[in-house]
Amino acid sequence: MDAGVDVVSEALAGLYERCRTLDAGEVADYIPQLALADPDCFGLALVSMDGHRYRAGDADTAFTLQSVTKPFVLALALAELGADEVWRRVGCEPSGEAFNAISLDEVTGRPANPMINAGAIAVTALVPATGPGERFARILDCLGRFAGRRLDVDEAVHRSEAETGDRNRALAYLMRGTGALRGDPAEAVDTYFRQCAVRATVEDLAVMAATLGNGGVNPVTGEAVVPEPVAVQVLAVMATCGMYDGAGEWMLRVGLPAKSGVSGGLVAVAPARFGVAVHSPRLDRVGNPVRGVAALREVSQRFGLHLMHNAAPGAATVVSEGGGSPEDGDGDDGDCKGGDGGGDRRTGVLAAQGALDFAAAERLLSALGESVGAAPGPVVLNLERVTAVDAAAEAMLTRALTLLADRGHRVVLVGEVLGSGPWEQGREF
Ligand code: GLN
């Protein structure tokens, strides 16, 4: 992109400058190798749904992903096993407790959710494989497909956590006791430690986040990494549980699905817009990176990205209405059978444009409702400028047109976008 118009990079550079002076927070040291991180390392990256990449600061520094791997491994388990099987074994409720809490349900013995350690260890163990080697290979491969390149393991960090991670080991044994974990707890924890030690840059992480925001399709490589319903479920869990006991405050102030990790990584997803990642090892008291949280608060506010913020309505759905004949009258309407009934007059013409979803279909159908007269008569619906119809809109339109036909109205469709399924050029209802 021409540097002169690259205002996204400019915005990231501004964020970098403003947040780099924040020096509150501590580098995690309960995994000794992580304590060696440079506390002032700070990188930001953003990747759009078109695969455009933007970055600022130390974007080439590789760091271990730690808990940021959790949503992506959850996606793998959901894709492999299906939602029912996964949610039978792990809950989806925010625990309101620290990431390493012993959050096991008193009745079911299940971990509270897959974003805390207990749930993540259980989910990692669910990934189908003949043994731990194959299981980790599948996890590494999947993380690489999310990132768009093969990733590797920081062996020193893995060793360091394996030597000191007794709390996680204890969690795994407890879960075997409650029935939440099948198989050997030591093996399950070691695979989880290796997963936490997978290394990537903040730019890789932004591609991973963008893949979740893009319905599971990596916007850089074009690969469908996981099915769209899986990406939706993972984002939902990130939104409620991704920031540990800071999740409520995060939703209040930032309002985006996100996940943090103890090495200072943080991903956030603006669904259908972009993925963003920050790396900064100084952590606040709940284990979230101080500069990352500050940067994401500002991004969300400045760009109006809070999920509960109502975006301005899209372009008008109904672009013309009137009686007599299809608006452009340029002879393209030959397929329209409205005039072959032997002299009947068209009483209404409606034209729609853009992508039809629930809200757009509602707008179109309320205009259609007004344009059909009480007495049965023909209506022309011109959909030539409709660019997409989602499943909800298609069902709504089909149902409405069938109802009109049942009441004796004749509705004629013009437009090729709906040329498959129940929609045909010139189809009459
Ligand atoms: N490997 C770390 C642990 O289990 C991951 C925790 C985190 O990033 N919050 O303690």
Q: Using CA atoms, how far apart are residues 419 and 55, in angstroms rounded to an integer?
A: 42
313 located within any domain: no
Beta carbons of 37 and 46 less than 8 angstroms apart: no
Our answer to whether residue 192 is catalytic in this structure is yes
311 located within any domain: no
In this structure, the answer to whether residues 147 and 30 fall within a common structural domain is yes
Which of 303, 332, 347 corresponds to the end of one domain? 303
> Over the stretch 141-188, which tens digit does the pLDDT of each residue have?
999 999 999 999 999 999 999 999 999 999 999 999 999 998 999 999
Q: Using CA atoms, how far apart are residues 58 and 40, in angstroms rounded to an integer?
A: 10
| pLDDT exceeds cutoff 50 at 325 | no
Residues whose CB falls within 8 Å of the CB of residue 310, separated by 6 or more in sequence, listed in order: none
| pLDDT exceeds cutoff 50 at 343 | no
Structure confidence at residue 213 (pLDDT)? 97
Structure confidence at residue 328 (pLDDT)? 40
In this structure, the answer to whether residues 287 and 325 fall within a common structural domain is no
Whole-number average pLDDT of the chain: 87
Identify the active-site residue in 27, 70, 90, 269. Answer: 70
In this prediction, residue 201 has a pLDDT band, given cuts at 50, 70 and 90, of: very high
> Over the stretch 354-381, which tens digit does the pLDDT of each residue have?
989 888 888 898 888 887 777 777 888 8
Beta carbons of 364 and 385 less than 8 angstroms apart: no
In this structure, the answer to whether residues 186 and 275 fall within a common structural domain is yes
Q: Is 125 helix (H, G, I), strand (E, B) or coil?
A: helix
In this structure, the answer to whether residues 246 and 323 fall within a common structural domain is no
Lowest-confidence segment of 145-154, 279-288, 290-299, 366-375 by average pLDDT: 366-375
Our answer to whether residue 54 is catalytic in this structure is no
In this structure, the answer to whether residues 382 and 278 fall within a common structural domain is no
308 located within any domain: no
Structure confidence at residue 347 (pLDDT)? 55
Structure confidence at residue 339 (pLDDT)? 37
In this structure, the answer to whether residues 145 and 62 fall within a common structural domain is yes
Structure confidence at residue 116 (pLDDT)? 93
| pLDDT exceeds cutoff 50 at 262 | yes
Query: Looking at residues 56-70, what average pLDDT do you find?
Result: 97
362 located within any domain: yes
CATH number at residue 401: 3.30.750.24
In this prediction, residue 326 has a pLDDT band, given cuts at 50, 70 and 90, of: very low
In this structure, the answer to whether residues 149 and 253 fall within a common structural domain is yes
Our answer to whether residue 325 is catalytic in this structure is no
Residue among 123, 161, 171, 260 whose CB has most ligand 1 atoms within 8 A, to mutate? 161
> ∠46-238-294 over CA atoms, to 5°?
50
> What total number of domains does the chain contain?
2
Give the total residue count for the chain: 429
Residue 356: its H or E element: strand 346-356
Our answer to whether residue 67 is catalytic in this structure is yes
CATH number at residue 134: 3.40.710.10
Lowest-confidence segment of 173-177, 243-247, 249-253 by average pLDDT: 243-247
In this prediction, residue 324 has a pLDDT band, given cuts at 50, 70 and 90, of: very low
Distance, CA 416 to ligand 1 centroid (Å)? 52
258 located within any domain: yes
Identify the active-site residue in 127, 192, 226, 267. Answer: 192
Q: Which residues form the domain of 376?
A: 318-423
Our answer to whether residue 70 is catalytic in this structure is yes
312 located within any domain: no
Ligand 1 environment, Cβ below 6 A: 66-67, 99-100, 117, 161, 168, 196, 261-262, 287
In this prediction, residue 3 has a pLDDT band, given cuts at 50, 70 and 90, of: low
Order of strands across the sheet with 274-279? Answer: 53-57, 43-48, 274-279, 265-270, 258-260
